[in-house]
Structure 1
């Protein structure tokens, strides 16, 4: 009889270990769910960790955040920045390709004397709608602002070319781009003497 009771207790303990636990709720939707019963308050406190605690260096920097269900997730800090520079080479336009968030982008300028454009596609296997909200062009102080939307190919498809600016020698183009997923990007193209192209991408949101 005692053996049966012990076995039953062990099975019960095993079920508890594999079950979902709720605090303030009898229907938890995750391994641990806390319902503080007060809107805007998590009901979770760390006694030995607060706003006065020393920060810990972490590269790349990421923080804990919440998704729409209230689950705690790991998310990146913004802005995120990537960059590349390449010597002009008509045979290797892919050398300027960068991946940042939902986007892959590059310039199509590969030879001296020709203007260049921004080329973008989705960084995933899905297509993505983007809008170039505006661009600024510096060559003797000029600037232009336009808005152009397009559905991008996925990462195995061709790049979509946006010819809303022209990258000439010693010129800088800055694009501001929004995506259907709520992302916001700033992409800078810099042409140094028609010799080097610098592509800098910043994910702002």
Structure 2
């Protein structure tokens, strides 16, 4: 008989039932359906099979306990060479299917986690590259603004120096003009004094004659 398809809904539902039981959750059709992502028919079949198997196991345990407490079972240890029946083929196939489904599901989950981590890494890298580009742009703008401010400062300093030189030139020209006017004034005063002296001399000679 061919082995069950590990990708079939029923096998996935059985694997989900085993996972729910190992996690301590109730194995219900709805819980199996949500966990395995299968239809309700496969989930119902898997939950019934798992609960039936657990019920049979509990019943067998209860019967063994009852016989033991009643003292009907011999306390002698079984012989070491006592034949142990092999695992039932159906149970072996079931366990193989569950193990295979769990293994493949864990591999798929690992791949999904890897893809998600790669996407997250790519997103963070893109964001960091964008922030770095923005910082570089701001730095360049600040550098250009600083260069522009320095150029304006140099222009203002040059203008002030030129204005100072022009003021000094005007001041020197004004001083030269003032000196010239003072000299002309002294010359005019001297000329006036000489003219007055000549006039007085002429007047004195006129009076004497």
Per the normalisation by structure 2, the TM-score is 0.17
Kindly indicate which of the two structures has a greater share of residues assigned to strand: 1
Per the normalisation by structure 1, the TM-score is 0.17
Larger radius of gyration: 2
